[in-house]
Amino acid sequence: MSNTRIERDSMGELHVPEQALYGAQTQRAVDNFPISHQRMPAQFIRALILAKAAAAKANVELKQLSESQGKAIVDAAQGLLEGDYMQHFPVDIFQTGSGTSSNMNANEVIATLASRLLGEPVNPNDHVNCGQSSNDIIPTTIHVSAALGLHEQLLPALVHLVQVIERKAVQVHPFIKTGRTHLMDAMPVRMSQVLEGWAQQLKANIGHLQDLLPSLQSLAQGGTAVGTGINAHPQFAAGFSRQLSNLTQVQFTPGKNLFALIGSQDTAVAVSGQLKAIAVTLMKIANDLRWMNSGPLAGLGEIELEGLQPGSSIMPGKVNPVIPEATAMVAAQVIGNDTTITVAGQSGNFELNVMLPIIAQNLLSSIELLANSSRLLADKAIASFKVNEPKLKEALSRNPILVTALNPIIGYQKAAEIAKTAYKQGRPVIDVALEHTDLSRSQLEILLDPEKLTAGGV
């Protein structure tokens, strides 16, 4: 074969692309798993490279590697992160359940670069993988990549979304709209109350996500193959976490029980569950926006979302709520990702979970999708929508449900008769109430004032 070289591992020889930095074990994985043609996520590979650098630093401190070997490994890792490192990581998501193929991919690439820097062989297993097993480095990398994704992507995006919603709530506070339950007319609410409800949902989700960070930042590293720590220095776990914390500026700690962190992925399942809850919140906000924007003539038409692109290839002038629609699709995908992670989380057989790569893929995909869609929803839908005040006032003036405010005075049964008559005759409820009660118009105007009827929820 042309443009290849021969590499050897414990199973024998095989051809590897001549310019590839990886070796035999990576090539075997490429040959064995031509399944999805999707590589492991870039965030995962970045975290794996950082973990290899942290391991090398810890092993130098503990005299498990020479200073020159450790420096070469760290420099190789840093060099990778400064370039287009994903070209060197071709292994499919659907691979060995432990993620061993991805671990060895990293070991081989870093060993090749470190050997060049050092001018003497650096071994993928004995040096780059020193004190580690795929069984602890891959669960560790799942936690690290997800924690970095939350700190760097999702939490800032959610905070931004809350801030935009709260600013918009101040702007739209003067506007009062017909409330709806079961999609049917209900008592009036302020526009600001609707938005403040969204903001509170998101704040609660942020709090729940932050509560999970300590568990996510607790690492399996040091457990090696089954949790006993075989072939790792007794102080390796602590040294690794300290070095990784220095590299990432996120505080990582050794796990309290490494058997649990290797044999299960309960923390990833819990984080995914919270990501699903965020998806449900975003779906609610997106659908509220779509309904309020519907029309503009035959729908509710309460707001006008920013027009971003033509909405139809055949209907001129049609503009669709594309950002809320995209957000709703993200929510559906994240809910599906959570189902996969739930099933994968059940595959902790004795001392190892054997669906680690798909957990990593889906968890990081959910984090990225939610972060990106949250910013778009904030900046291209919520910040820029306009309120259609005439439409709001028109609907309010004809809303018979306002008669609910008269219940304490005339009773539920009498109020129901007034509401039904107003519906049937298409008349303002105040006019019907004036005919069926002893209350004066001035009294009714006070009692049925939509602004006063919204005060209870402030």
Q: Catalytic residues, which ones? A: 182, 312
CB-CB contact of 403 with 419 (8 Å): yes
Whole-angstrom CA distances from 405 to 236, 389, 447, 448, 450 are: 69, 23, 7, 7, 10
Q: Token pair of 10, please? A: 């414990």
Number of Cβ within a 10 Å radius of residue 90: 18
CB-CB contact of 51 with 141 (8 Å): yes
The DSSP output letter for 85 is: G
- Residue 317's region, left for phi above 0, alpha for psi from -120 to 50, else beta, is left
Residue 39: beta bridge partners? Answer: 92
The three-class DSSP label of residue 234 is coil
The three-class DSSP label of residue 289 is helix
d(C-alpha 354, C-alpha 331), whole Å: 27
Q: Token pair of 99, please? A: 């993620």
CB-CB contact of 227 with 259 (8 Å): yes
CB-CB contact of 335 with 279 (8 Å): yes
d(C-alpha 251, C-alpha 245), whole Å: 5
d(C-alpha 457, C-alpha 455), whole Å: 6
d(C-alpha 40, C-alpha 170), whole Å: 43
d(C-alpha 414, C-alpha 426), whole Å: 18
Question: Beta strand pairing status for 386-387 and 303-304?
Answer: antiparallel
Residue for token pair 């290899």: 52
d(C-alpha 433, C-alpha 441), whole Å: 9
Q: What is the DSSP string of 344-366?
A: HHT-EETTEES-HHHHHHHHHHH
Contacts of 3 by beta carbon, 8 Å cutoff, 6+ apart: 17, 18, 19
Whole-angstrom CA distances from 103 to 97, 161, 308 are: 12, 36, 44
Fill in the amino acid letter for 12.
Answer: G
